[in-house]
Structures are given as structure tokens and as C-alpha cells.
Amino acid sequence: MNGTLTGGLIGIAIAVALFVFEYSAVNNAAKERTKKKASKIIVLESSERARLHNLGWFCVLLPFLCAGLGWLLL
């Protein structure tokens, strides 16, 4: 398989795993905070939303970066 395609696919896999794990960690923290406040609505703080937003953009760029790296190395 072409090095660019291989790098891109690896980048997609890493990006999806990274976003899923980070989202679950942020969501669990929000659930714990909701339990402590005895509230029923789970609300993400602005810093958590910004963190997920920035990570989302990184996950969009990561496959392209990995594809370029694969093209250079392979």
C-alpha cells in the first residue's frame, strides 16, 4: 500500500481513538460534578468545551500530518 495512504489511515485511527477517550474522560468528569451538585442536567464547562473543540481540530489535521509523514518515511 502507498505510504501516504497508510499514514493517513493510521492518523484516522489515532484521531478517532484520541477523541473518544478524551470525550469519555470529560463526560465522566461532568457526570461526577453533576452528582456532587445533586443536579439532573449534565453540563460541560466552557473550558471543557474549548478543550474538546481544539482536540477536534487537531483530530481533523492529524490524518493529513500522518499522511505527510508516511510519504516522507516510506
- Continuous H helices in 1-74: 3-37, 46-73
9-62 pLDDT per residue, tens: 999 999 999 999 999 999 999 999 999 998 889 899 999 999 999 999 999 999
Helices 46-73 and 3-37, packing angle to 10 deg: 160
Is the CB of residue 71 less than 8 Å from the CB of residue 13?
Answer: no
Q: How many domains does the chain have?
A: 1
Q: Which residues of 1-14 are buried (b: 16+ CB within 10 A; e: fewer)?
A: eeebebbbebbeee
Domain containing residue 63 = 3-73
Report which DSSP code applies to 38: T
At residue 40, the pLDDT reads 87
Cα 52 → chain centroid? 7
